[in-house]
Homo-oligomer: A and B are copies of this chain.
Amino acid sequence: MTKVIVLGAGNIATHLIATFIKNKHIELVQVFNRTLASIKHLQSKTAITNSLSKLKIADIYIIAVSDKAILDVSKKIHFKNKLVVHTSGSFAMSDLACSANKGVFYPLQSFSKTKKVSFKKIPICIEAERKEDTILLEHLADLISNKVYHINSLQRKQLHVAAVFVNNFVNHLYAIGEDICNKKNVPFEILQPLIEETAKKTKKMTAFKAQTGPAIRNDQKTINTHLTMLDEQKKVIYKQLTKAIQQTYGKEL
């Protein structure tokens, strides 16, 4: 039985706690949060505390707080020979400031508190200083997910910046499409199947090869028509991405 303590009550913490409670091979020993009110509902399921000095003994301490708070929380965990991990995409393992052994347990997904999540399909990127901790983390990750990857801190930073492009920036392009439709009284839902198909296609072929549209066809007539239809802010992005596509595929500009 792997004994874990979760520190935090945000999106990732909430989903990890729910998943751990349901799993027979994991014992959720305790949950810590600065504000007790946010974790009070867990009282019947596990021990709760708002004091880091009252942390119990466990195999793994999972710091699932905001990036800004990781350092402070980690400083106050004084167990030697125990494993302390964080769940962040951009925080280096070595930046954890505890005397315990260090590691990372990074589930790569965009979580929202209210939406239920099955961890089975969520990739979990693990890293640890010591080989025995890697095995321990791998065991924990395997219990909740089918997709476990050994990723070091440098690779994780790259994944994080790549995720900004394929998640945050992509979502902004969806928002632009949505805005164009709303302003012209066109139901955005018409674009939904195209959006999903474009996303799914990345499984079947490289995005590099899947590129289509006026930019890669060098269809200047359509590009010009589109530019006349856009407001300034959208026009800048349209031009920028068209240029980037044409540079990438070596078309004459």
Contact = CB atoms under 8 A, between A and B. Distances in A.
List the number of copies, as a whole number.
2
A172 B67 contact: no
Interface string A123-134: 101000000000
A141 to B, nearest CB: 13
Interface residues of A, number: 88
B245 A168 contact: yes
A24 to B, nearest CB: 25
Interface string A172-206: 11111111110011111111111111111111101
Nearest to A208: B175
Contacts of A165: 173-174, 176-177, 180, 234, 237-238
A174 B166 contact: yes
Interface of A: 67, 90, 108-110, 115, 121-123, 125, 147, 149, 151, 154-155, 157-181, 184-204, 206-208, 210-216, 219, 222, 225-226, 229-230, 233-234, 236-238, 240-241, 244-245, 247-248
